[in-house]
Chains A and B, each alone.
Chain A
Amino acid sequence: MEEVKRERLEEEYSRSPDFPSCPFPKVLGERGLGEGALLQKGLLPQELRILRRRGMRIGKICRVHNYSAESVVYFFMKKYAELVFPSRSWRFPGPKRLTGSALPWYSVKARACLKAAVRRPHVLKEKLSKLLPLVQKPARYTGGEIHAAMKDPAKVSVRYAFAFPDVYEVGMSHLGLRILYEALNRLDFLWCERVFAPWGDMEALLRQEGLPLATLESATPLRDMDVIGFTLQYEMSYTNLLNILDLGGLPLRSCDRGEDMPLVMAGGPCAYHPEPLAPFIDLFFMGEAEEALPALMERYRQAKAQGATKEEFLLQAASLPGWYVPAFYDAVYKEDGTLQATVPNRPGVPERITKQIVRDFEHSVWPMSPMVPYLEVVHDRITLELFRGCTRGCRFCQAGMIYRPVRERSVETLLAQALENMRATGYDEISLTSLSTGDYSALTQLIGALSRETKDCHTILSLPSLRIDAYAKDYMEGVDNDRKAGLTLAPEAGTQRMRDVINKNVTENDLMASVEDAFRNGWDRVKFYFMLGLPTETDEDVEGIADLAGKVTRLYRRIPREVRSKRRLTVTVSTSNFVPKPFTPFQWCPQDTLENLGRKQGILRRALKPLGVSYNWHESSVSRLEALVARGDRRVADVLEAAFRKGCRFDGWNDLFRLSLWEEAIAECGIDPDFYINRPRSREETLPWDHIDVGVSKEFLWQEYQKALRGETTPDCRGACQRCGMAGTLCKGGPSYAGDLSV
């Protein structure tokens, strides 16, 4: 009896002319069963929304004879799955008896199938395409670039969304995205797609139309993905992260996301201090992910095939090195509000999480055919990664500590990558990147080889972030005269005393010599980067910045006109505000107060104006919030959420930063910002990031801090190991690191 009815119902479905946009035929609509009844019988509200969004009118789904609402829900799912996903690679479970008691079993299974089925989001794509003419730069949302990974969703079992919490042009400039996109899409069972933070105009339209944020490649709503992986590059992008989750149809907090919701992960440099995002992220990775992430995805595939729960999978992940599940740890506070400890709250979870690195950097994953965006992105060129890590030991620099140890790539590998990238992309510009490109041990050979090999291709070679003492004269003569951009130097501090404190081992003589060489080779634009608010900074140090700028302008005038540029010299001084970051020797320091920073900017404004030097400074209130998030603990998460709810987005973009909303959010959460920002921390205090092991020891950082206060410098560790804590585990120490890292 049951069987006959089912057959008839199915037959009637298939006869409906409205397939597939409206799989429920109108003929059955006589004695209807409303949405309310379906919800009551086990269809989840989000499923109802999915179905409704896909153009289905389920206001009046029929009741045929004595068919139960459960059966209708079940058939609804099954037919829909079959229609939109006809490849049959999925197996839809057929319950033997469609009775109420079987509901828990089949609704779970059917739901899983439906989730797979609705992954062909042709309807969503069409709806999104109607919004595109109405937004600025619609190419941000269309994908379709050459070398973007396109796969058949029926042939993969894991769907991964690489989420970048900033706009397309920023995200597509990020090398980490390119590398992980390549590493993940090499897995044949997985499809890694991209999603970026939508600009305000697109967000408003999505919210107005009730459409979910979807991936670029296949226009799949985020909540229908298996995994969403964020990269954390900058603290002020965290409200965008929350916005992406929200627009994707996911509850913000891990505890509110059920089994049918994607796993939300995060990695990148800011993930080393995960606590402010702890309630939102299921799983963090500490380190370089190009090897560990594909390995984890293999485990995810198995777990998914075995029907493991999220909790089971997370327990498995937490036992692997480098993976951190914040829900498995409790933050315990003392009476004075400082942290007592961050402790595991269940067995099998390690007390400390250790950073993972790529040991064989020479042969690690490299995208030989990177995507070529249509839009002009921030770094619109081929980027070669010369090495990871930095041995300089600048005390303010978080990257210099967390990316240790140094691992170089050989000239041959880099040259092969450059030529292959050029062939595959058609780019005519190559840039060399690393934390300190001038320190690459074979820089002259590399530049020589690149210019030799690309001589006939009209290729431009650009070299960012060179340290000033690396500007050897022979390099400057090698640079094509027509392509000379401004010279950018970062002395970071204005006096030798201050530079010694921060261990920026550059003298004024080095600097003046580099600048003079540049002037004599035709440069007439110089840009200097400095920081304000460094520990122990006095007004004299601030005035030192203006003195230095003055010396540079006088130097230019002293050089005879015959050997320098004929144009007027342009000098620009930019100051940022120092943010004491975790895992640096200054992690115990307070940030300078708003008043002080403002006063110091005033000193510079007055001193630089008569010199004819233009001056840019970074907004102090943004730096203050950056410090709050960068140095906060789990309690700061509430502020992030409140700020997001109030409408904060793109806080790193000066014109979009809304201080008043942040102030309201802080006040509502009852958090004292000075506690995090302006309070010096003692050596004994447990820091919110102490359970993360980045390799560099806390003891070494403290010793460096003490040396800084005494104005003592620490030499580059390529000369002699400075015992930062990595030797013997991740780093073999000593003068040469190229390639071999076996300990």
Chain B
Amino acid sequence: MRVIFRFEKGETVRYVSHLDMLRAMQRTLGRSGLPVAYSQGFHPHMLVTFAMPLPVGATSQGEYMDVVFREGPGVEEIAGRLAEALPPGWTVTGAHTVADSAPALMAMTAQCDWQIDFPGMEAEALGARVASLMASSQVLVTKTSPKGPPKEVNIRDGILTLKTAAVPDGARVWARLAAGSQLNIGPGLLVDALAPGIDARRLLLHRLELYGLWEGKPLPLLELAACY
């Protein structure tokens, strides 16, 4: 039985890296005593996969995990037992069974909603920047990678929607960005385009939701899972 979970990563665990989270979730499944299935072969491992790595320091209410169970006591009980075993800072907010034939979470993911806080920034200035960015057909930012030289990329096609508003001590941006294997625009690149020179590490990044496409329309992954 294959189950997709949506969960939140809270403030207290925002510095847990993706790799550390993988281990933490496997141990959580171990503690829960749920009948998780293992791979066959030389080095059996739990059949657990995730949708998309989250940058270290970001919080999220749209994290997804896909677990295969040997047998199922029912999705509600499974979610309940997982929630009980989770360390502080993580919350299960949804679970749904999914057909074995459905694609992997990573392959489903196509879009991603972000909420980015710019403390101390004028909302008007940022709003102007957003407007001009959405009006232009090309937004060039420099992408650095550990391998190879930095290169200029056009991220405009990856920015689907962009809104901004004032919050008590700064400005907030909501963005829907392309995500996944086709085209992936990380929040860091968007920040470079919106506010060049700002250290993205100091901003508060919050992932709201991950979407996949069903008949061309974006659906949150949890709802999409139900379609298969």
The answer to whether A binds B is: yes
Determine the residue in chain A with the shortest Cβ distance to B24. A374
Q: How far is the CA of A176 from the CA of B34 in the complex (A)?
A: 32
Q: B24, B32, B38, B202 — which one has the most chain A CB atoms within 10 A of its CB? A: B24
- With a cutoff of 8 Å between Cβ atoms, the chain A residues found around residue B19 in the complex are 376
Q: Which of A413-458 contact B (CB under 8 A)?
A: 422-428, 457-458
Q: How far is the CB of A498 from chain B (nearest CB, A)?
A: 41
The yes or no answer to A142 lying at the interface (CB within 8 A) is yes
Contact A145 B15 (CB under 8 A): no
Map CB proximity to A onto B31-53 as digits: 1 under 8 Å, 0 otherwise: 11100001000111000000000
Contact A422 B87 (CB under 8 A): no
Contact A146 B57 (CB under 8 A): no
Q: Which of B194-208 contact A (CB under 8 A)?
A: 201-202
- With a cutoff of 8 Å between Cβ atoms, the chain A residues found around residue B201 in the complex are 133-134
Q: How far is the CA of A138 from the CA of B20 in the complex (A)?
A: 12
Q: How far is the CA of A543 from the CA of B28 in the complex (A)?
A: 52
Contact B87 A146 (CB under 8 A): yes
Q: B20, B26, B42 — which one has the most chain A CB atoms within 10 A of its CB? A: B20
Q: How far is the CA of A591 from the CA of B149 in the complex (A)?
A: 51
Map CB proximity to B onto A110-145 as digits: 1 under 8 Å, 0 otherwise: 000000000000000000001011100011001011
The yes or no answer to A687 lying at the interface (CB within 8 A) is no
The yes or no answer to A375 lying at the interface (CB within 8 A) is yes
Q: How far is the CA of A458 from the CA of B29 in the complex (A)?
A: 13
Contact A145 B44 (CB under 8 A): no
The yes or no answer to A372 lying at the interface (CB within 8 A) is yes
The yes or no answer to B12 lying at the interface (CB within 8 A) is yes
Q: How far is the CA of A425 from the CA of B202 in the complex (A)?
A: 33
Q: How far is the CB of A453 from chain B (nearest CB, A)?
A: 15
Contact B56 A138 (CB under 8 A): yes
Contact B15 A139 (CB under 8 A): yes
- With a cutoff of 8 Å between Cβ atoms, the chain B residues found around residue A424 in the complex are 31
Determine the residue in chain B with the shortest Cβ distance to A427. B27
The bracket for how many chain A residues form the interface is: 20 to 34
The yes or no answer to A482 lying at the interface (CB within 8 A) is yes
- With a cutoff of 8 Å between Cβ atoms, the chain A residues found around residue B27 in the complex are 372, 425-428
The yes or no answer to B89 lying at the interface (CB within 8 A) is yes
The yes or no answer to B217 lying at the interface (CB within 8 A) is no
Determine the residue in chain B with the shortest Cβ distance to A150. B88
Contact A482 B88 (CB under 8 A): no
Q: How far is the CA of A426 from the CA of B16 in the complex (A)?
A: 18
Contact A146 B26 (CB under 8 A): no
With A374-B13, A426-B26 as known contacts, state yes or no: A133 contacts B57, CB within 8 Å.
Answer: yes
Which of A144, A423, A428 touches B88 (beta carbons < 8 Å)? A144
Map CB proximity to B onto A224-238 as digits: 1 under 8 Å, 0 otherwise: 000000000000000
- With a cutoff of 8 Å between Cβ atoms, the chain B residues found around residue A428 in the complex are 26-27, 30
Contact A132 B31 (CB under 8 A): no
Interface residue tally for chain B (C-beta within 8 Å): 30
Contact A132 B57 (CB under 8 A): yes
The yes or no answer to B130 lying at the interface (CB within 8 A) is no
Contact A376 B20 (CB under 8 A): yes
Contact B15 A142 (CB under 8 A): yes
- With a cutoff of 8 Å between Cβ atoms, the chain A residues found around residue B85 in the complex are 426
Contact A144 B87 (CB under 8 A): yes
Q: How far is the CA of A457 from the CA of B35 in the complex (A)?
A: 10
Which of B13, B31, B88, B89 touches A426 (beta carbons < 8 Å)? B31
Contact B16 A374 (CB under 8 A): yes
Contact B57 A374 (CB under 8 A): no
- With a cutoff of 8 Å between Cβ atoms, the chain A residues found around residue B12 in the complex are 142, 144
Contact B38 A458 (CB under 8 A): yes
Q: How far is the CA of A457 from the CA of B26 in the complex (A)?
A: 12
- With a cutoff of 8 Å between Cβ atoms, the chain B residues found around residue A427 in the complex are 27, 30
Q: How far is the CB of B96 from chain A (nearest CB, A)?
A: 24
Q: How far is the CB of B9 from chain A (nearest CB, A)?
A: 12
The yes or no answer to B23 lying at the interface (CB within 8 A) is yes
Q: Which of B69-110 contact A (CB under 8 A)?
A: 85, 87-89
With A423-B33, A427-B27 as known contacts, state yes or no: A130 contacts B202, CB within 8 Å.
Answer: yes
Contact A138 B57 (CB under 8 A): yes
Which of B44, B89, B202 touches A458 (beta carbons < 8 Å)? B44
Which of A374, A422, A458, A482 touches B20 (beta carbons < 8 Å)? A374
Q: How far is the CA of A458 from the CA of B31 in the complex (A)?
A: 13
Q: List 17 A-B contacts (CB under 8 A).
A: A132-B57, A133-B57, A133-B202, A142-B15, A144-B87, A144-B89, A146-B88, A372-B87, A374-B16, A374-B20, A423-B31, A424-B31, A426-B29, A426-B30, A427-B30, A457-B30, A458-B38
17 other A-B residue contacts (CB within 8 Å) besides A139-B15, A426-B85: A133-B202, A134-B201, A139-B17, A139-B20, A142-B12, A142-B13, A142-B15, A144-B12, A144-B13, A144-B88, A146-B87, A372-B87, A374-B17, A374-B21, A376-B20, A423-B33, A426-B26
Q: A residues touching B (Cβ–Cβ < 8 Å)?
A: 130, 132-134, 138-139, 142, 144-146, 372, 374-376, 422-428, 457-458, 482
Question: Top 8 nearest A-B pairs by Cβ distance?
Answer: A426-B30, A426-B27, A146-B87, A138-B15, A426-B31, A133-B201, A374-B20, A144-B12
